[in-house]
Amino acid sequence: MSPKPYNLSAILLCVFAIILGMGSGKGQHLNTLTATLDGAKKDIYIQQQFVYVNDSNDSLPELFFNDWPQAYADKNTALAKRFAEEFKKGLHLAKSHERGSTKILSVVDDHYSGLTWERTRQKDIIKFSLNEPLAPKDSIKIFITYRVKLPPNKYTPFGYDNKNKYYLKDWYLTPAVYSDGKWSLYSNKNLEDLFTGITNTNITFNYSKSLFLASNFTEVSTTNTPFLKQSHLEGINSKSAEIIITPTKTFTKHITPTLTILTDLEAPKYDPISKGLSINKVAQFITGNLGEYPHRQLLVSNIDNQKNPLYGLNQLPSFVTPYEDQFQFEMEFLKTALNSFLRETLFFDTRKDRWVNDALVNYLMINYVDTYYEDQKLLGKLSNLWGLRSFHLAKMDFNEQYSFLHMLTARKNLDQSLRTANDSLIKFNQKIANRYKAGLGLAYLSEYIGQDKVAKSISEFYENYKLKPVRPEDFVGILEGSTEKDIRWFNKEYVSSSKRIDYNISNVFKTDDSLAITLKNKGGTNVPISLFGIRKDSVVSKYWFSDIAESKTFTIPRQGEDRLVLNYDQKIPEFNQRDNWKSLNGFFSSNKKLKFQFFKDTEDPYYNQIFYVPVMGFNIYDGLTPGMRIHNKTLLERPFIFDFAPSYALKEKAMVGYGKFNFKKYYQDKNMFVANYAIGGSSFHFAENSRYTTVTPSVSFGWRPDNLISNKREYLTFRYVNVFRIIDENQNINTDPDYNVLNARYINSNNGVIDYVSWFVDAQHSSDFSKVAFNLEYRKLFENNRQLNLRFFAGKFLRNRTNSDFFSFALDRPTDYLFDYNYLGRSEDSGIYSQQIIIAEGGFKSKLENPFSNDWIATTNASVNLWRWIELYGDVGFIKSKGFKERFVYDSGVRLNLVTDYFELYFPLYSNNGWEVSQPNYDEKIRFIVTLSPKTLLGLFNRKWF
């Protein structure tokens, strides 16, 4: 099929673009599209004429184009796999009509000869094979006719919603980039990082007359035809067109002295006049720090704001307003405008080199607050509320959030270098931590070499490289040339490494007129560190020290300081600031004061913080157990933790509770990433007037792959469980009250939403028995949306001198002699609490006769879904006790898998007991899984980010 003739205005615009391309002294791709939106079918019919200019020194036998709408076509694209890594099942479960795709109808060259084409293995990249290789500096015109089927916007903002609104981004075919002898072929992974050639583009877009259009391209004209509205869009020296179509006119054009802005960003409580003044203020700040915007208008959309919000308190429900309306609007507008401004003008390969964009955006945001809102607190108006104002969090300045959120992943040993490819970052780093670290880096550098030098470097860089292909080295070169100081550390140590900045003052030698200070580099990152001399909370001196590979001594004049503090103004994103100060008034004055606080707080480096919070527990023997938890956990993870929760059992009228000491050591750049040393204990009742107490020292080690996005983890744990029991004389318990078990376990897991595999080997040794066990769990979500759950367990006693089933393997309800499981009524054999089940050992759901084995056991548990969370389950296995022949056991039923591992119901149907539904007291046969721990439930959220 040959394409239809193009209208006169499109031809004139194309000629104008050619003239501009000639004026730039460099060949420019030319792109002309006619696109028609079919609102009923949610399709876009596109005729595209593309003039590809080969500006390389190589002949090109084929051309590659990005086809990112195809990323929504099936369950095996890079986008679908990325969603699976983030525990999102929506695209995997989508029906065919809920998917996006691209259907190529015809492809011909300028001689109207057909071109063969194929999709690469990435699926959303198309290869066009040319009839003749394209020589260097030559060009070819190709005509492509195709149809784009839009997906609903429930997976990403791209597509349509049920209110007749459309968001089109990366919606048509764009050329991949050929550079340095190779193609950069990147799939759509919902990372907002399309890498495409710079193009002069003209679009004729046809759509319903009842709709309104806004775009990052210039809207040259809009006319009405008998049936459709037609908009002519132009983008010179641009990437790709972004189009937002709405049923009502939501965008307003603001013409400021420095910038024309098209925006739909709303601030319902902020009056329009003040809003206009704020937009003018932000526009002047951006152009004053960067330079003149080369396009006719800047699109600042609410969709972009929602894709990349100000993470923090502004995401609280609308009735909670911690910030003044003006401040909140300006910060949201500034962030969105800066991202749009740089995206349209600085053409980085943002899949590989995004950090410069992030650095510029966040550095300028930090400067904006320092310039106009110097006293703004992180909690805003909440900082003054009674009950909150005593918290260190309430005293933090707004700009301190950048270091705090960066440290959230650094303290978890999940930080990644700024050079890490965008698609290799974990979600929290990709969205927040690495962006903030990049901005902090420029703020740190400006403190060291001077803010004026960094500001001049930014404006010079923007002026020299806007609308051109650019690399981070271009920016780094300008920075290094702006100062006589050696700042090679910025690129080598800060940008290119994930090592931490961490210094302390290891020693101070005092004389009458000088101080000899020894600084130790604990993190291994050789960067400058600031030292402040403090007298009565006032700064009397400040110094910068550099080139400290391990430790180094410096001598400074004595000026009446009573304290020396590293990084006192916290401008350096340092890993640990708790050991940054040294008192000059003797040993006892060096001791930090204790600070008791309610609940939890951010880390205050100048106090030893102890937190207290009321807690409430429950089991049927203790009843409700109100208590007071005392711990030192801050919002940032720290290596040494103590955590105690003494409580009072209202039913037993006795003290119960738990406590532990824990030291965690993280290792960077190693597969073994963590070692954990702990000693803990607990004491509760396990039956009426019967108490257990455990004391357990343990050590564990963890391994992970270099790719932090991978969910694969390995752990090896050793623990020695000491159990002491006080048993009521009326209890029929014929085992020794006290016992000790040495336990070793190796765990290998790969936790995914599509494929889940986890297995462990467990060994236990005690004076009366030795046993080994193997446990395997497998879950698979198939392309037809069926989910299969399989579990296999096998256990064998190597020796067994016990005379009861207390330590035996169990089919359906282990005795839990190590007190690992959160039973509400662990000793119950009847009533509702006996129906609680924890899938362990045999994993059966029906209560069968003689459910214990003192020799060996092997079982398989399986379930498959019928509809959504309704499943059929079945369990089979063999169980053998000494002196008896092995028995074949089985059961089956219906599983309501409401939240896997957290809330489930099991309804037995048929088992060794027969047809259970028809038997008396069926309600007592129903089993349930319930998890009440907030920490465990929080893991459902955290796994998507970390």
Taking residues 853-868, report their average pLDDT: 95
Phi and psi dihedrals of 462, rounded to 5? Answer: -65, -45
Residue 457 has pLDDT above 80, yes or no: yes
User: Residue 731's pLDDT is what?
Assistant: 77
Give the CA distances from residue 412 to residues 121, 658, 664, in Å, rounded to whole numbers and listed in that order. 35, 25, 10
Taking residues 226-232, report their average pLDDT: 93
Rounded to 10 deg, the angle between the 434-449 and 355-372 helix axes is 60
**Residue matched to tokens 């579990």:** 791
Within 258-354, residue ranges assigned H as helices are 272-289, 302-307, 325-343
Taking residues 366-393, report their average pLDDT: 94
**418 touches 425 (CB < 8 A):** no
Residue 26 has pLDDT above 60, yes or no: no
Span between the terminal Cα atoms of the chain, in Å:
49
Say if strands 212-215 and 242-246 run parallel, antiparallel, or are unpaired: antiparallel
Give the CA distances from residue 129 to residues 64, 141, 442, 534, 897, in Å, rounded to whole numbers and listed in that order. 9, 13, 45, 70, 50
User: Residue 295's pLDDT is what?
Assistant: 96
Contacts of 939 (CB under 8 A, 6+ apart): none
Q: Give the span between the Cα atoms of 128 and 120, in whole angstroms.
A: 10
Phi and psi dihedrals of 460, rounded to 5? Answer: -65, -45
Q: Give the span between the Cα atoms of 799 and 804, in whole angstroms.
A: 14
E strand intervals along 751-869: 755-765, 769-781, 787-800, 809-810, 852-853, 856-867
Side-chain-side CA neighbours of 945 within 13 Å: the count stands at: 14
Structure tokens at 417: 């270098």
Residue 931 has pLDDT above 90, yes or no: no
Residue 66 forms beta bridges with which residues?
A: 125, 174
The pLDDT-based confidence of 451 (bands split at 50, 70, 90) is: very high
Residue 53 has pLDDT above 60, yes or no: yes
**768 touches 758 (CB < 8 A):** no
The pLDDT-based confidence of 143 (bands split at 50, 70, 90) is: very high
pLDDT digit string, tens, across residues 174-206: 999 999 999 999 999 999 999 999 999 999 999
Instruction: Map 320-341 to HEC letters.
Output: CCCCCHHHHHHHHHHHHHHHHH
Burial degree of 759 (CB within 10 A; 0-12, 13-18, 19+):
middle
User: Residue 1's pLDDT is what?
Assistant: 36
Q: Give the span between the Cα atoms of 650 and 646, in whole angstroms.
A: 13
Q: Give the span between the Cα atoms of 140 and 110, in whole angstroms.
A: 7
pLDDT digit string, tens, across residues 786-832: 899 999 999 999 999 999 999 999 999 999 999 999 999 999 999 99
User: Residue 901's pLDDT is what?
Assistant: 74
Determine which of 67-76, 623-632, 654-663, 933-942 has the lowest per-residue pLDDT on average.
933-942
* Closest to 517 in 3D by CA, of 495, 545, 488: 545
Torsional sign, CA 389, 393, 395, 399: negative
User: Residue 196's pLDDT is what?
Assistant: 97
Rg (CA), the chain: 33
Residue 578 has pLDDT above 50, yes or no: yes
**824 touches 617 (CB < 8 A):** no
pLDDT digit string, tens, across residues 326-373: 999 999 999 999 999 999 999 999 999 999 999 999 999 999 999 999
**377 touches 383 (CB < 8 A):** yes
- Complete domains list, the chain, with CATH: 8-250 (2.60.40.1730), 355-495 (1.10.390.10), 503-590 (2.60.40.10), 643-942 (2.40.160)
**Residue matched to tokens 């239809």:** 4
User: Residue 319's pLDDT is what?
Assistant: 67
pLDDT cut 90: percent of the chain above it: 85
Q: Give the span between the Cα atoms of 215 and 198, in whole angstroms.
A: 18
The chain-wide mean pLDDT, for the chain, equals 93
Give the CA distances from residue 421 to residues 418, 432, 624, in Å, rounded to whole numbers and listed in that order. 8, 15, 51
Residue 719 has pLDDT above 80, yes or no: yes
**392 touches 570 (CB < 8 A):** no
* Closest to 29 in 3D by CA, of 54, 58, 3, 64: 54
**759 touches 739 (CB < 8 A):** no
What's 307's DSSP letter?
H
Global pTM? 0.93
Q: Give the span between the Cα atoms of 15 and 391, in whole angstroms.
A: 64
User: Residue 12's pLDDT is what?
Assistant: 44
Q: Give the span between the Cα atoms of 789 and 769, in whole angstroms.
A: 32
**846 touches 812 (CB < 8 A):** yes
User: Residue 321's pLDDT is what?
Assistant: 79
3 state DSSP class of 758: strand
User: Residue 315's pLDDT is what?
Assistant: 65
Residue 282 has pLDDT above 80, yes or no: yes
User: Residue 14's pLDDT is what?
Assistant: 44
**Residue matched to tokens 């009742």:** 685
Structure tokens at 734: 């014929």
Residue 592 forms beta bridges with which residues?
A: none
Q: Give the span between the Cα atoms of 789 and 793, in whole angstroms.
A: 14
Element (H, E) at 393: helix 392-395
Q: Give the span between the Cα atoms of 376 and 389, in whole angstroms.
A: 14
Residue 20 has pLDDT above 90, yes or no: no
- The Cβ of residue 869 has, within 10 Å, a number of other Cβ atoms equal to 15
DSSP string covering 495-533, please? IT--PPP-EEEEEEEE-SSEEEEEEEESS-----EEEEE
pLDDT digit string, tens, across residues 124-142: 999 999 999 999 999 999 9
**595 touches 606 (CB < 8 A):** no
